[in-house]
Structure 1
Amino acid sequence: MGVGEAKPSSGYAKPPWLFKGSALYQLHLVKAETARAFIPKEFRLVEAFGYTLGGFFLAHYDDSPAGIFDELVVIAGIVWNPPTSCAWAARVLVNSHEACFHGRKCIGLPSQVAGFSKRTTILERSRNKENSFLNKIGFGTAFCNPKDRIDVQVAEIKDSSTTDFCCISLPTAVLDSRSDSMWMGPIVKMSLPSFSGHTQYNPRLLKYSCQIKCRVRAVTPAKVSGPTTPVDKHGEGLIAHQSSYSVDSEFEGLTENDARNRSISVLLSKPVLALEFNFLKMQVEPPIVVAHCSKNLVEGS
């Protein structure tokens, strides 16, 4: 059954929707020209010196309306929403058809079905730790050698074909033998507001927020590599044919190939901060329709 044919379960019936697990939230400096292609013309991109703040959110949920699944959210950048700002997702990859359907239809996200495979290179082991992000993505042992790593390979799945998207190499040396209460970081509560929509599945502009409670600590940024095969036959790199656009009856945006290439470019941009979220409880509020964007939304202050 294709994603568009999947039916949402009763777990998604009544918002807000609760997700529990762990995640890595990594912020990157993204070129404004790369991010701006994803942002609807109604909004102003928050930028300085030609860059905006984007990155990715890599999560493993062990309890959610769609059950257990992995998610990679590529964040193109930040758009102005006085008096604060909101994130804009360039691409969302999940290994759950049900979560993909819900993201597309209900949240207005550019969701894709993907496969997540995990591989580890271990040179030295230390004692077990519980509830770390590395445990949650499928590795139950903490490591202490700085050369050890866990590679999360993400590949998009469409019909019967699979296409490499990226590989995220997680450093394992961030874990040590101190007590969880100290090393897992403080308990924090935060709200992450986002805009969405303007897709072929949901052409309306939407705004929603994620209410998060978790333990947070700064960790060494993960290293990201692109597809193992060239994305264009001319060998001109990931961002080829950037000016190519397509127009649908109600939706104007990037071509599928261009959107994918730009999303990979966001992942390959320079990391500035990585935060590990453990004991994560994320409550996703139902989106509201942004019926008419005000002048302030467009111009900022």
Structure 2
Amino acid sequence: MSAADTTLRAGLEAVMREAMQLARQVPPEQAHKKAHQDYVTEVDMKLDRFLETELGALTPGCPVLSEERAVTHAGSLERYWIVDPIDGTLNMMSGLPFYGIAAALVDRDGPQLAAVAAVAQDEVLIAERNQGAWLNGQPLRLPKTPPLLIVLSTGLLDHLMQDDNAQWEGIRAIGKIRNLGAQALHLCGVARGQFAAVASVEARVWDEAAAGLILREAGGIWQSRADRADWTDPTALMAITKQYSVAADPASAAALVPLLPEAFSLTAGPAGTWPPT
């Protein structure tokens, strides 16, 4: 790892800690409805502007794209940031302490450097491709014993409960089902040993890009249809909806393969392997 890489990683952590402070200072009451049960608040917008400025200063000339700004580029980008100013906006609005801030520096191979800030817990998780993952500066690795909780998205829950009772019962036999409403923190929860697996049919690339790299570098599996797309075409990448994604520790992934074959038929990205070795 070069001195420049270390400096950039330290700069990213500093930006995320400042972003957490800003998130705590701005009241979330002023909210606008984007879609059914989907909101944007003044916190989202202020953090969006803050991250655009500060991340842009870390990497001059590197665009900063986000969930809150529909940015269209006529052509490819070799390097850019993709951010989610607040992951779990409805949780934040409701006073639930499970929401975060996510940022990933992306190149043609996918997420290269990533950070997720858990605001209520005052924690920052960082990962660098092929270099490892850290939680508040300490190395982060999956625990040896998988936990007993599994996170399923509401869309996937609807499908399993209506259409395939065998799949539903099989997954329930592996672990108890939860959904806490913040996908980046769900994936980070796998990385730190809180959840055995996370499966979704509606997560967007800004929800998962940063946390997916953190999980891989901690020793876990992350696969998604967005990760198989062309990372140099962010306009198309950010338009992908209803995508299958799965994140898990290797032992739980092995148990879930026959139950979620659509997800595990995907090929993992550069830092992930399947089957686990």
TM-score by length of 1: 0.27
Which structure has the bigger radius of gyration?
A: 1
- Name which structure has the greater RCO, CA cutoff 8 Å, separation 6+: 1
Greater strand share, structure number:
1
TM-score by length of 2: 0.28
